[in-house]
Amino acid sequence: MSLASRAALVGAALLASIAAVASEAAAEAPGGLSGERIRAHIEFLADDTLAGRQPGTPGYDIAANYVASQFRQLGLAPAGGGDSYLQAVPLREAFQIPGSARLSHHREGATREFVFVEEFFTGASRAFEDSGVRAPLVFVGYGISAPALDHDDYAGIDVEGRIVVAFAGQPASFPSEEGAHFSSRTQKQRAAEAAGAVGAIQIYTPRAAQRFAWDRLESVVGAPAMGWLDAQGEVHGESEQIRGGALLHHEAADVLFEGAPLALAELIALDEAAEPLPVFALAGEAEFAQRSTHENITSPNVAALLPGADPLLGDEVVVYTAHLDHIGVLPGEGHEDAINNGALDNAAGIAVMLETARRFTEDEPPRRSVLFLAVTAEEKGLVGSEYFAHNPTVPREDLVAVVNLDMPMLLYDFADVIAFGASHSSLGEVVEVAAAAEDTALTPDPWPEQNIFVRSDHYRFVEQGIPSIFLVTGVNTRGGETVGEGMSIAMKFREDHYHRPSDEPTLPIDYAAATRFVRINHGIGERIANTAARPTWHEGDFFGETFSP
Ligand SMILES: [Zn+2]
């Protein structure tokens, strides 16, 4: 025996003993080796070196390469197009020129200039580098046109060439998820455009304040807006007719209603009392102006496929989605920590998706195929997922269901899960069974007023008629002292850490609970992939009827 091979043997023995020690340590860690893997993904993706994973930055590209590398290590097939895991998404990035955003009101020779951020807010324009408009005003209630719910704020009033003024949100009488659809920015803009309006002012009401705090707007000043570019090089869904839009705080908006049939305070009272809002022309005019700079960039979605084994069902595809991007670095100077690491939002969702993929590769191949999709620019308005939904790398008619992961609260030993969208399709039953198998309950949406169903990536697939759910941890903890302890922890996270630099890997993540969340998530996809019947919308369901007629 040569010296070299002797040394190799000793080395091998040493390595084996190190490996044994290492796996013992991992086994003792909360959640075992699986928990350690989740932790490793989160610590890598939410590290300061990735600088908050803003699309178009090196930090985001490193994150995308990391996910692609994980996919290859798991033996999954590239599904980004060609032989790549990456699907390049063409984006327009728009930056508002500081100081250029203006909103004013004119009536009978008097002018009122509103103060940017303090009283009104408007983001960068993706459609125009220089936009502005001055036109008469019309109050249009909520600005919603929803024939399916027997509601049309535009029936019987002419807004052609005018700027519409509407309350944020939706009538209290609307079912929450349908209402969420109609009160989304896209739907309201479409309604205003179809009616011939040239601008839109949304009033931030006390009811809107329950959904988001005005003082959070300050943190988005200077952040870029993004949209994806179609084959003609135009930003998808952007209107050329609407030349100005703004959110106006109700405390500054009285002046718009002077001399109107109802004062603003009376309208707010109707909104609070769940009474219908009237529509009427207003006396003055509003004027918008702002300038933006545009740059066209690309940022990748990352996609991988586990081919299905069934000769008949194998072409059909179950999709897992999770957004890989976050909001980058805080604009401005003087921050103690400026990096929004996005540990829970959404390094955690990516980590859960990667470990779910691993479980699939450890079992027999499922009957249907499974696509794992990490998307870009979710934080800019579900942009990367919308691009994929419009430009899928597998035939769209083969997509049978979407399970989305966004900001799972892995901070407590959850007793239940919530699946937004569960009440609309046969997927609700699947979640219930998969959760029960892990001794976990399914709780109905506890925050209907937050419109969460339309606020994450699965919604871009709902718009293509595909039944979808969005899975998060629930309202109760196991063995918790109080009912709703999980909800309190989630609310506290929203207040203290959501979209802030403190959403970091140092948060007290419960890796044992995280592994159970992975098992439930895997159990859902496994059942969808192996059940002969394809998931269906419930008979007469609003989303099924609207998008999958
Ligand atoms: Zn976010």
Instruction: Give the CA angle between residues 356, 360, 361 to the nearest 5°.
Output: 115
E strand or H helix at 64: helix 58-73
Using the mean position of ligand 1's atoms as its centre, give its distance from the Cα of residue 453 in Å: 14
Q: 119 CA to middle of ligand 1, Å?
A: 24
CB 244, CB 125: distance < 8 Å: no
Backbone angles phi, psi at 208, to 5 degrees: -65, -30
CA–centroid distance, 217 to ligand 1, in Å, is 14
Instruction: Give the pLDDT score at 4.
Output: 47
Question: Distance from the CA of 345 to the center of ligand 1, in angstroms?
Answer: 5
The two structure tokens encoding residue 524: 């859902």
DSSP-assigned letters across all residues of 487-549: HHHHHHHHHHTTTSTT-STTS---HHHHHHHHHHHHHHHHHHHH-SSPP-BPTT-HHHHHH--
Q: How far is the CA of 326 from the centre of ligand 1 (A)?
A: 6
pLDDT tens-digit series, residues 313-327:
999 999 999 999 999
5 three-state secondary structure: helix
Q: What is the pLDDT of residue 341?
A: 98
- Report the phi/psi class of residue 81: left, alpha or beta, with left for phi > 0 and alpha for psi in -120 to 50: left
The pLDDT value given to residue 184: 84
Dihedral sign of CA atoms 459, 460, 466, 472 in order: negative
Going through 147-198 in order, the beta strands assigned E by DSSP cover 151-152, 163-167
So where are the chain's domains?
Answer: 30-73+307-547, 94-294
Burial class (CB in 10 A: 0-12, 13-18, 19+), 285: middle
Q: Ligand 1 centroid vs 193 CA: distance in angstroms?
A: 28
Q: 499 alpha carbon to ligand 1 midpoint, in Å?
A: 6
What single string gives the DSSP state of each residue in 228-297?
A: EB-TTSPBTT--SS---EEEEEGGG-GGGGTTSSS-HHHHHHHHHTTPPPP-EEEEEEEEEEEEEEEEEE
From the CA of 379, how far away is ligand 1's center (Å)? 6
Q: How far is CA 420 from CA 196, 381, 458, in A?
A: 34, 18, 10
Alpha helices for 458-510 (secondary structure H): 458-462, 485-496
| Residue-level pLDDT at 370 | 98
The phi and psi torsions of 229 (rounded to 5 degrees) equal: -95, 130
Strands 130-139 and 163-167: parallel
Sign of the alpha-carbon dihedral angle for 371, 377, 378, 381: negative
CB 369 within 8 A of CB 316: yes
Give the Å distance between the CA of 63 and the centre of ligand 1.
16
- Report how far ligand 1's centroid is from the alpha carbon of 497 (Å): 11
Task: For strands 86-96 and 77-78, give the pairing.
Answer: unpaired
Ligand 1 centroid to residue 68 C-alpha, Å: 22
Separation of CA 407 and ligand 1 centre (Å): 7
Residue keyed to tokens 């979407």: 402
The vertex-423 CA angle with 467 and 510, nearest 5°, equals 90
Query: What distance lies between CA 289 and its chain's CA centroid?
Result: 29
Centre of ligand 1 from the C-alpha of residue 504, in Å: 13
* pLDDT tens by residue, 226-254: 999 999 999 998 888 999 999 999 999 99
Residues 6+ apart with CB under 8 A from 77: 304, 305, 306, 307
CATH 3.40.630.20 fits 30-73+307-547, yes or no: no
- To which residue do tokens 């219908």 refer? 276
Q: How far is the CA of 179 from the centre of ligand 1 (A)?
A: 22
DSSP run (H or E) holding 138: strand 130-139
Beta bridge partners of 229: 235
Q: Which helix (H) or strand (E) holds 93?
A: strand 86-96
Low-confidence stretches of the chain (pLDDT beneath 50): 1-7, 9
Among 379, 405, 221, which Cα is nearest to 322's? 405
Q: How long a stretch of residues is the chain?
A: 549
Cα(346) to ligand 1 centroid in Å equals: 7
274 HSE (CA, 13 A, CB side): 4
Q: Are 433 and 531 in contact (CB under 8 A)?
A: no
- Give residue 521 CA to ligand 1 midpoint distance, Å: 20
CATH fold of 94-294, please?
Glucose Oxidase; domain 1 (3.50.30)
- The pair phi, psi for residue 499, each rounded to 5°, is 55, 40
**What span, in angstroms and rounded, lies between the C-alpha atoms of 430 and 436?**
10
Q: How far apart (Å, rounded) are the C-alpha atoms in residues 523 and 528? A: 9
